[in-house]
Amino acid sequence: MKARRKHPQKALTPLRINSLSQPGRYADGNGLYLVVDESGAKRWVLRTVVHGKRRDMGLGSLRLVSLAEARGKAIEYRKLAREGGDPIAAKRSAQATVPTFAEAARTTLDQRRAGWKDGKSASQWLKSLSAYAFPIMGDKRVDRIETSDVLRALSPIWLSKPETARRVRQRISLVLDWAKAAGHRSGDNPVEGVGKGLPRQTEKRGHFSAIPFAEVPHFVQRLPEVTTSEFARLAFEFLILTAARTNEVLRAEWPEVDFKMAIWTIPGERMKAGREHRVPLVGRTMLLLNSAREMNEGSSLIFPGRTVGTPMSNMVFLMMLRRMEANFTAHGFRSAFRDWAAESTNFPREVCEMALAHAIKDKTEAAYRRGDLFDKRRQLMQEWNNFVASKI
C-alpha cells in the first residue's frame, strides 16, 4: 500500500520564492499556492471548499502581497468557509462599496493626521491633491484608477512644478496603497509605471536627483534583474536599507560589524562629519550581510571588487542605474528615506536626521545632544526595512 503523502506546511520561503522562474503552481500549505505565469508574473491563489465545492480565489500579485500577508488572508478566508460563509462573495461585497479617490484620500489623511504636530502639513497634503489629482480622478472609484489617470494629473506640472509634482505623485501612491490594504484594490499600484510616460525633469544644480519614496520597494524588487556582480546588487540594496552613503558602503569591512549586537559601526575617517556612526542592522540588512559572508573569499571588505582586498568603483551604482534607465542617483535614496520618514512615520525630526548621520547645525542643541538615539533609530530603520521589502 502506497504511503499517503503529507501536505506541505509553510513550504515556501522568501528565498525560494525569488528563485522560482518555471511556470507552474507551487504549494505553501493549507490550500495556498504561488502561481508563476508564463510571463514570469507571480500571484497568490487560495484553493478551498465553499458549500461543498472546491473553489480557487485570487489573493493578489506577489509584488503587492507578501508571503506573510498571503498566509494571513488564506487563514481568514478558510475560516470563513469552514463557518459556512462564502469568502468569494464576501470579497465581491467589499468591493461593491469601494470609495472614490477623493474619499480614499481624505480617509488616508485622517489616519496620518495624528502624526503631524500642526495642521499645516495636513492642509498642504490635501490642498495639493485637491488642486492636481481630484479634478482628474477625484470622483472615480479607487479600484478603477489607472496609470493613465495618474499621468493626466501629473503631466501639466511635471516640468513646470517638479517638486510639487513629485510630492503629488507620492501622495497619490500612498492613497492607492491604503486602498489596497483596505481591500478596495488589487494588482499593482498604477503610480509605479507612470514614470515611463513622463519626460525627464531637469536636475537642480547642487541637489541630488531622488527617487520618490513610494517607488523604492518596486526599484529594489527589480535589482536582481540588473546585469552586474552579486556583490554589487547586495551592496546597492544594503545602501538603500541603511540610508548610508556610497563610500561608507563600498569600503565597509567585516570588523565593523557586530553580528551579536546587530550593529555596523562606521569609523569617523569614512564619515562626512568625521565622527564615528553606529547603524542598527535590522530585518533584511542582516540577510544581505549573511549572503555576502557566504560568498566571501578571504577579503576584509564586505562587498569587494573583482580583486581581493580592493573595493568596487564609486561608479558601480551609477552604471546599475543607467542599465535600469533610472534618472536619479544612488545618493538620492537618502532623500527618499527622509521624505518617507517625514510623511509616513511619527518619528521626531532629530531621530530621522541622526539616522542619516547629519550634523546638528544648531551649536546649542549640539552641545546638549550627547546620545545618538540608537534605540529609536533601530525602530525607525526596522519600519524602513519593512516598507522597502514589502514587495520583495
Examine the pLDDT at 40 and tell me if it is beyond 60: yes
Q: What is the mean pLDDT of residues 141-145?
A: 89
pLDDT at position 7: 61
Please list the residue range(s) of the chain that carry CATH number 3.30.160.390: 14-95
Candidate from 54-58, 85-89, 201-205 with smallest mean pLDDT = 201-205
Environment class of 227 (CB within 10 Å of its CB; exposed 0-12, middle 13-18, buried 19+): exposed
pLDDT tens digits along 43-69: 999 888 887 788 888 888 887 678 888
The mean predicted confidence, pLDDT, of the chain is: 85
Please list the residue range(s) of the chain that carry CATH number 1.10.443.10: 214-391
pLDDT at position 59: 82
CB count within 10 Å of CB 99 equals 16
Percentage of the chain exceeding pLDDT 90: 38
pLDDT at position 115: 61
CB count within 10 Å of CB 148 equals 14
Examine the pLDDT at 258 and tell me if it is beyond 90: yes
pLDDT category, 367, cuts 50, 70, 90?
very low
H-helix or E-strand spanning residue 297: none
Cα distances (angstroms) measured from residue 226 to each of 17, 19, 38, 327: 18, 15, 21, 15
Please list the residue range(s) of the chain that carry CATH number 1.10.150.130: 101-201
Distance CA 58, CA 61 (A): 9
In CATH, which of 1.20.1260.10, 1.10.3860.10, 1.10.150.130, 1.10.569.10 is domain 101-201?
Answer: 1.10.150.130
Examine the pLDDT at 206 and tell me if it is beyond 50: no
pLDDT tens digits along 294-328: 998 888 999 998 876 788 988 899 889 988 888 88
Q: What's phi and psi for 231, nearest 5 deg?
A: -65, -35
Residue entry with cell 490550500:
31
Examine the pLDDT at 210 and tell me if it is beyond 60: yes
Q: What is the mean pLDDT of residues 95-117?
A: 80
Positive or negative torsion for Cα 48, 53, 59, 61: positive
Candidate from 125-129, 153-157, 259-263, 361-365 with smallest mean pLDDT = 361-365
Residue 251 DSSP code: T
As beta bridge partners, residue 264 has: 257, 279
E strand intervals along the chain: 24-29, 32-36, 42-50, 53-61, 257-258, 263-266, 277-280
Candidate from 30-44, 156-170, 201-215, 236-250 with smallest mean pLDDT = 201-215
CATH number of the 14-95 domain: 3.30.160.390
Domain 214-391 has CATH 1.10.443.10: yes
- HSE of 373, CA atoms in CB hemisphere, 13 A: 18
Examine the pLDDT at 350 and tell me if it is beyond 80: yes
Provide the Cα torsion 345, 221, 357, 331; round to 10°.
Answer: -120
Candidate from 101-105, 194-198, 260-264, 334-338 with smallest mean pLDDT = 194-198
CB count within 10 Å of CB 160 equals 8
pLDDT at position 371: 63
What cell was used for 31? 490550500
* Concatenated DSSP letters of 18-75: HH--SSEEEEEETTEEEEE-TTS-EEEEEEEEETTEEEEEEEEETTTS-HHHHHHHHH
